[in-house]
Amino acid sequence: MSARGIVVVIREDPERSSRPAEALRIAVGLRTGEETLEVVLLGAGARALAHDASAFEDAEVLETHREALARAGQAFLVEETALAAHPAAELFHVEPLDAAGLARVLVGAARHILF
């Protein structure tokens, strides 16, 4: 990731909070800029990529924006332990992320947006 990049980190549970849906909406907008974008899902935030999101807060917003990112070729970096607990739907390009990888992504970014 370049030093000009932006990292959006989602750690809130989409079943209990609308923040993951808002984070994905913002990520779609940021993707249109010149800076690189990384979307990182930690802990319960990994549930944002679940096959069935209909019971989540702001489910329609979440589904619309996660699918827009997927169509645009955006990879989702998902904490390894979270991925094991909350498998992602096949639609999404998921890259497992260990603690060292997370540190590299965060250090390499110019800006961080945390949800």
E strand or H helix at 75: strand 75-79
At 99 the pLDDT is: 95
User: Distance between CA 36 and CA 55 in Å, rounded?
Assistant: 31
How far apart are the C-alpha atoms of 19 and 11, rounded to whole Å?
Answer: 9
* Digit-coded pLDDT (tens) for 25-64: 999 999 988 889 999 999 999 999 998 999 898 999 999 9
What is the tens place of the pLDDT at every residue in 12-28? Answer: 999 999 999 999 999 99
pLDDT grade for 2, boundaries at 50, 70 and 90: very low
Domain locations in the chain as residue ranges: 6-114
The model scores a pTM over 0.95: no
Distances (CA, A) of 71 to 37, 53, 56, 88, 91: 15, 18, 21, 15, 9
Calculate the average pLDDT of the chain. 93
How would CATH label the architecture of 6-114?
3-Layer(aba) Sandwich (3.40)
C-alpha distances out from residue 1 to 9, 66, 99, 111, Å: 15, 21, 16, 12
